Amino acid sequence: MPKLNALVAGSTGYIGTQLIKILVKHKYINIKYLCGNSTVGKSISSYEKSLSKYKLPKIKKFNKNLLNNVDIIFTALPNGEAQDISKYLSNQKILIDLSADFRLEKASEYKKWYKQKHRAIKLIKKSIYSLPEINRKELKNYNIISSPGCYPTSILLPLIPLFKNNLVNVKNIIIDSKSGYSGAGRGVHNKYKNKNLYESLSAYGVGNHRHNSEIDQLLKKFTKKKIEVSFTPHLSPMFKGILSTIYLDLNRNTTQSKILRLLSKFYKKDKFVKVTKPNTLISTNDVINTNNCLISVCKSKFKNKIIILSAIDNLIKGGAGQAVQSLNNRLNFPEKTGLL
């Protein structure tokens, strides 16, 4: 089949360059345009040297006429900008957004958490929050695909099966997540110029991080009970990777082995979610440069509790890789295409 033409807007950020590194190896995709604002006329290899061996277009400023020549639009832009681009889409185009623009189902929630009005409210219902392992069948009905945040990806994949099967107490969930500094974007060194990113660990967004909204929204779909999730993210002295540690109270007659069996069965056919042997001490090093999510179910010193470890590469499974995984499912390509 002929290759589909793609446009990547926000091509020079950490997520954008990671996306391009995947797409150049995707046998069904041709990168037609790379777009940016302050980088117009530059080569993408200025930002990612490994791309110098590929013949890629110079960076252009986005304008709506470019959409006439592409089939797929990837947006890795500041929040709000994908909403503007979405207004120009025809029914045949597919938009895959890696920002938060279509993650929340209510415009009021978007304004609450992102401090700006949603500029494409009518399109929210025409979009889907795409966690492929959970809703890949529904994906095929949507042309606006919203990729989850990196932290929620590492958290929702282990928790959703447990919520669906009523195995854990949903009112006392504590999540401690640590991410590499690439998750804050290329401006991280300016944003945190008073911190030593390479030798210190910093908590941030305590009690009010924006990803709380995604986590709560998705988990509420799988239980009728009121949920209480405490989530605290940390910036770690490493470039990329996320390790989430999730503390759970077990419901009656639930055990560590039962949790392990359920997760193993739930993800048995999935290519990118891997459940380890019990009590395995996983690390970000186990998943870096892959589209995998690694899950380990660990015992606690308390009989009625367990601890789940979940590790991903924030730029791949938590970003560009998951976006391409969604594309592959949407267009019936083999799910691993471009992701090995």
Catalogue the active-site residues: 150
Contact status, residue 329 vs residue 136, Cβ threshold 8 Å: yes
N-terminal to C-terminal alpha carbon distance within the chain:
21
Please report which helix (H) or strand (E) contains residue 260, including its range. helix 256-266
Residue 221 three-state SS: helix
Alpha carbon of 36 to those of 5, 95, 157: distances in Å?
A: 18, 17, 32
Instruction: Please tell me what DSSP assigns to residue 338.
Output: T
213 within 8 A of 113, measured Cβ to Cβ: yes
Tokens of 183: 């998750």
- Strand order from edge to edge, sheet including 59-60: 59-60, 29-35, 4-9, 72-75, 94-97, 144-146, 127-129
Q: How far is CA 36 from the centre of its chain?
A: 21
Cα separation, 12 vs 226, whole angstroms: 41
